[in-house]
Amino acid sequence: MAQLRRDHAGFVKRGIEIIVVGPDDAPAFADYWKRHDLPFVGLPDPTFSVLKLYGQEVNLFKLGRMPAQVFVDKQGIARFVHYGHTMSDIPDDREIFALVDAEGNHDGTAVH
């Protein structure tokens, strides 16, 4: 999430809303967001309902949920999907910016 925080202005400039979905309950999520002063939306998903909708992998041998990034436009169409195979398998934000800039689509919503 450090990368998302660092590059948040780049997402805002492109009209992209970041939503981070995690396995914690609402109080734990709110506490984490407050302690780290994160500038984007956090969505608690303790029942894994969002995880299941987007096909995010859970691997207990690799610390739980594998990273997944899904960029959904305002029409609800997934424009980019990346499922990580390790906890560090996350595309660089510059890669995402290049994709968005090439398509000229600055009105999407990003879901991580």
Look up the CATH number of the domain holding residue 55.
3.40.30.10
pLDDT number for residue 9: 93
For the entire predicted model, the pTM comes to 0.73
pLDDT number for residue 111: 44
Maximum Cα interatomic distance, the chain, rounded to a whole number of Å: 40
pLDDT tens for residues 64-78?
A: 677 777 777 778 877
Domain count of the fold of the chain: 1
Asked if 38 contacts 5 with a C-beta cutoff of 8 angstroms, the reply is yes
State the Cα torsion 81-18-13-105 to the nearest 10°: 30
Segments forming the whole domain that contains residue 53: 2-111
